Chain A
C-alpha cells in the first residue's frame, strides 16, 4: 500500500512543484507579514519543549530529523490533548465518504502546525496506530487544507471512531479535496508524525 501511495505522491509532487512556483511569487510578497504573524503565535502560545513528557496521555509525537545532518539529534515533541488544544484552533463542517451526514471537525491545521514547528520544507510522514503511513510534502500544505482534528461534533474521538486524531480535509469545499490522493492522505487513528527536512 505504501508503494502505491508513494507513486501517487510523486505525481502529486510534480504538479505541486508547478503550483508552488506560482504560489511562491505570491508568497514572496506576503513573506514579511507572515513572518510577523508566526513570531507572534510562537510567542503567545508556544510548543511543548522538545522531549518533554506531557501530563496526559500522549496522543501525538512529532519527530523532526535533518536529512542533511543525519548525526544531529532528533527533535521530538509529544502532545497530549491539552497541548494540542493550545495550538491555533480551527474548524469546519464537511461530509466525508466514510461517515453519514455533515460532520463538524475541530483541531489544528497541519499547515499551522508545521509553521509552529518552524518547518518550511521537507516531507511529513504521518503514521497511524495500525502503522498506515502517508507522505505529505510540506510545500503542499495549505492554510485552508488538511486539519489535524481532535474533536468531532464537539466530542473527542475514540480509536473506535477513527480517533483520537484524524487528518481531514474540507472535502465539500472544493473538488480539489475529492481526489484519491486526498482520501489516502485522510489518515485516521494518527499517533505520530515524522518530519524530514
Chain B
C-alpha cells in the first residue's frame, strides 16, 4: 500500500558529488540552488504530492465514515425507538383470542343444549349458567373485536398489507360487522346465532392461522433486511475506518519523512553555508556581493585588506566608489574615472582589468570577474577582485627585458644586413667588372687570372648571401613561392652544376631516382634547389676521391601530392658525434685535425633546416666518423596545377627600348648598371642623388626609373614621392627601388612612397631583364598581398582587452568606416581643400592601422600622400580603390566579430 519512494528519495549516499567550483562564479549560484538540492527538491515535491493524495483520501473517507455513521446511527435509533409493537405477538394473540372466543361460544352452546334437553329445575340453574356463558361470549367477542381493530388501525395494518394478509383481515372485519348487532342485541338472538357462530368461528380458524403465519414470515424478512442493512453499514463503516486510519498513518509517515528530509537538508545547508563562508572568508581574492544597482551587501576579509576598509563601512556603499572603469596604465584624470557598475543584463564577466581605489585614494590594478546570482529572489552580483599590481609589474619587467632582447636581436640583424650590404656593393663592382672583362679580348694567362678572381668573388658573394639569408630568415621568416616545376630537370641541373667541382676532388657522383622520371610537381623549386645544393655541396666539399650519391624517392600521397625523400650519401670523413647533434645549428663547423680548413660560414645547414621546416618537411643526418655521412630530407610536394609545360624562366628575348633613368650615388654601381642596361639596348640617363633624380624626372619623360634607396641629400623614398607628386612628365613612370637590404616593414614604406617594385642589389642580368620586361620585380611576385586584416594586430588587441570590448571596438570601427566611405565620394581633392581632406583621411587611416586593416591603411595612405602633394588626379584614382577594399575589410571584420 505504501509506495516505496527510494527512487526519488534524496538519498545522500548516491547524490552526485558537488562539482568542484570550476568556475569561481558558480559558487555564488550554489548558495541559492546547489545542484543536489535541485534533485531533492523534486523528491520534496513528490512527497508533498503523496501527502496531499493521502490527505484527500483521509478526508474523503472521513466524510464517508461520517455519512455511514449517521446512517448507522439512524438505524440504531430506529432500533432503539421502535415504531411498532411486537407484531408477532399481536397476530398470535389474535389466534388465541379467536380460540378463546370460540371456546366461550362452545361453552355457551353446551349450556344452551343442556337447557333445551335437561329438566325444568335444572333449567333455572342452566339458564343462569347460560347467561354467564353468554356474558363470557360477549367479553371474548369484545376482546377479539378489539384485537382485530388493532390490526385494522395503526402500524399493524401496514404490516398486514405488506404480508398480504389483507383479504384475511377483510374476512375478519366482515365477520365482526355481521356479528356486532347480534352481540349487542338480546340474549335470545345471540342464542339463536350460537350454532352458526360456532361454525363460522371454525371456518375463521384457518384465516387467523394464515394471517399469523404470513405476518410472522413478513416480520422475519423485514428483520432480516434490517439486520442485513445494519451489518452492511457496519461493514462499510469498518472498511472506511480502516482506510481512514491507513491514510492517516500514511499521511503521518510522509509527514515524518518530510520532517527528516528537512532536518537533513537543514544540516546540509548549515554545512554548505559554513563551508562557503570559510571559502569566502579565507579567499585570497576579494569577494564582494552587491545588489543589482551596485550597493555592497557583503564584503569579505580579503576585500577589507585590499581596500583598507572594514566590512561595516563598506556595506551600503556603491561598488563604483571602490572600482573604477578604465585601464590602469592609461590613467584618465581622476575626476573622469567612472565607477564600475555591475551589468546585470550582460551576464557574467570574467577577467576584466579595471582600477581599484583604496580608502586612502591609492589606485591599483585589479582583475574583476562577476557572477550573477539570485539571492532571496533578488538579483545580486558576486564580484571577485584580485589585486594584480604584482602581476602587472612582473609583466612589465618581463616585457621590458623582452623588448630589450628583441631590440638587441634586431640591432644584430640590422648590423649583419648593413655589413653584408656594404660588402656586397664593392663585391658587386668587382664581379661586374669581371663580367664585362670576359667579353673583352684578353690573353689566356689573364683569362685564367680572371677566372680565379671570379671564383673567389663568387665564393665571397655566397658567404655574404648566406649571412644575409640568415638575417632575413630571422627577421621575416621564409616566404615560399610555389610553382610547377620539372623535378628531373632541377636535379639534373643541380648535379651538372656540382659535377666539375666533384671531379676536381676526385669524387664520383651518382644519382638514382625512383620512379624515373620523377615528373612535374608543385613546390618552391628555388628553396628546394638551395637545400639540395647545400647538402650536395657539403658532400662534395668534405669528400676526396670518394663517392657522392643522390638517392631520390617519391612516394605518392592520397591527396595527389607526393613525399619527396632525398638521401645524400658520401664516403667522406664523416662527422663526430658531438658535432652531429648540433650540425643544423648556426655557425657550426666541423673542425678536423690534419685536414685543410674548408671554407664556409657554418650557416648552410642552419639555412637548410629553416627552409625545410618552412616547406613542412624534415631534415636529418647520420654519420660514422671516417666512413661517411648520410643527410636525408623529406619534403611534401603538391600535384602540379597545370599539366602543360609553362615557361618556368622568363624568355630571354630582348626587351623593347625604353627611356630609363638610373638614380644611384655609387659610381661603381652606376657604371655596372649602365653597362648592363646599354647591353640590353636601353636608353639610359643617370642621376647621382635624389635631388638630381627628381630634377631629371621633371624635365624629361621616363618609362622606368631605377632608384637607390639610401642616397645623400635626398633618399630614394623622398625622391619617389616628389616625382609622383610633382606631376612632371615622369610622374606616372614605373619606379623600382634598388636596395641591398629589404627587411621587415620597409616594403610598406616603399609602397607608401609610390614605388612599383623593389629589386635586390646586386642586380645580375637576369634580374635586370625581369625588371625591364615589367615582371619579376619582387613586388609583382610577392605572393601575398598585405593581409586585409592583420591577425597579429588583432591578436594583440584581443590580449589587451576582454573580448566584449574588442567587439565593441570593431563595431565602432565599422561604424566610423561606413560614415567615412559614405562621404568619400564627396571628398574634395582640389588643392585648396587638400589639407582638410588629408586630415580627414589621415584620421581614418590611423584607425585602420590600429585595427590592423593593412591594405585599407595602405590605400588610405596613398590617398593621403596624393592629397598632401596636391595631386588631384592621383588622389582621385587612389580614392577609387578605397571603397572595394573597405568591402573586403568589412567582411573580414565581421568574421572576426562572429568568431
Contact = CB atoms under 8 A, between A and B. Distances in A.
Contact of A160 (B89, B93, B97, B149): B149
Interface string B134-177: 00000100110110011001111000000000000000000000
Interface string B65-106: 000000000000100111111100100010001001000000
A99 B85 CA distance: 12
A96 B82 CA distance: 12
Contact of A183 (B85, B145, B146): B85
Nearest to A100: B153
Contacts of B93: 1, 130, 132
Contacts of A158: 142
A56 interface: no
Interface string A85-111: 000000000001111100000000000
Nearest to B145: A160
Interface in B352-402: none
A55 interface: no
B81 A98 contact: no
A121 B100 CA distance: 35
Contact of A97 (B83, B97, B139): B83
A162 B89 contact: no
Contact of B82 (A100, A161, A183): A183
Nearest to B78: A178
A96 B154 CA distance: 7
Interface in A24-74: none
A178 B81 contact: yes
A97 B85 CA distance: 7
Nearest to B92: A1
Given A1-B89, A97-B83, A175-B81, A159 B153 contact: no
Contact of B155 (A97, A159, A162, A179): A97
Contacts of B84: 97, 183
| Interface residues of chain B: helix, strand, loop or mixed (majority) | helix
A183 B142 contact: no
Contacts of B146: 159-162, 188-189
Interface string A162-197: 100000000000010011100110101100000000
Contacts of A183: 82, 84-86
Interface in A8-32: none
Interface string B411-435: 0000000000000000000000000
A139 B85 CA distance: 24
A179 B80 contact: yes
Given A162-B146, A179-B81, A183-B86, A97 B100 contact: no
B159 to A, nearest CB: 11
Nearest to A158: B142
A129 interface: yes
A130 B97 contact: yes
A180 B97 CA distance: 22
A70 B33 CA distance: 98
Given A159-B143, A160-B145, A180 B86 contact: yes
B143 A130 contact: yes
Nearest to B155: A97
A81 B146 CA distance: 21
Contacts, number: 62
A1 to B, nearest CB: 6
A99 B154 contact: yes
Interface string B202-231: 000000000000000000000000000000
A1 B97 CA distance: 14
Given A158-B142, A179-B81, A99 B86 contact: no
A43 to B, nearest CB: 38
B154 A97 contact: yes
Contacts of A180: 82, 85-86
Given A99-B153, A159-B142, A160-B146, A178 B82 contact: yes
Given A175-B81, A180-B86, A183-B82, A98 B142 contact: no
B139 A129 contact: yes
Contacts of B81: 175, 178-179
B143 A189 contact: yes
Contact of A179 (B82, B149, B156): B82
A148 to B, nearest CB: 18
A100 B80 CA distance: 23
Nearest to A101: B153
Contacts of B82: 178-180, 183
A130 B100 contact: yes
B89 to A, nearest CB: 6
Contacts of B142: 158-160
A124 B313 CA distance: 101
A179 to B, nearest CB: 6
A162 B143 CA distance: 8
A159 B153 CA distance: 16
A98 B153 contact: yes
A162 B85 CA distance: 15
Contacts of A175: 77, 80-81
Nearest to B97: A130
A161 B139 CA distance: 12
B185 to A, nearest CB: 15
B85 A98 contact: yes
Contacts of A188: 146
Contacts of B154: 96-100
A49 B378 CA distance: 104
A191 to B, nearest CB: 10
Interface in B505-525: none
B663 to A, nearest CB: 141
Nearest to B176: A160
A180 B79 CA distance: 9
Contacts of A100: 153-154
B139 A159 contact: yes
Contacts of B149: 160-161
A98 B83 contact: no
A94 to B, nearest CB: 13
Nearest to B100: A130
User: Which among A1, A96, A98, A159 has the highest number of chain B CB atoms within 10 Å?
Assistant: A98
A99 B157 CA distance: 10
A100 B152 CA distance: 10
A179 B85 CA distance: 9
Contacts of A98: 85, 150, 153-156
A97 B84 CA distance: 6
Nearest to A181: B82
Contacts of A97: 83-85, 154-156
A102 B85 CA distance: 18
Nearest to B184: A160
A99 B152 CA distance: 9
Contacts of B85: 97-98, 180, 183-184, 186
Contacts of A178: 81-83
Nearest to A163: B146
Contacts of A186: 85
Nearest to A177: B81
Nearest to B85: A183
Contacts of A99: 153-154
A180 to B, nearest CB: 5
Given A160-B149, A179-B81, A129 B86 contact: no
Interface string A108-130: 00000000000000000000011
User: Which among A100, A160, A162 has the highest number of chain B CB atoms within 10 Å?
Assistant: A160
Given A96-B154, A99-B153, A130-B93, 13 more contacts: A97-B83, A97-B155, A97-B156, A98-B153, A99-B154, A130-B143, A161-B149, A162-B150, A178-B82, A180-B85, A183-B84, A189-B143, A189-B146
Interface of B: 77, 80-86, 89, 93, 97, 100, 139, 142-143, 145-146, 149-150, 153-156
12 contacts: A97-B154, A98-B154, A98-B155, A99-B153, A99-B154, A129-B139, A159-B139, A179-B82, A180-B82, A180-B85, A183-B82, A189-B143
Closest 8 CB pairs of A and B: A159-B142, A178-B81, A175-B81, A98-B154, A183-B85, A160-B145, A97-B155, A180-B82
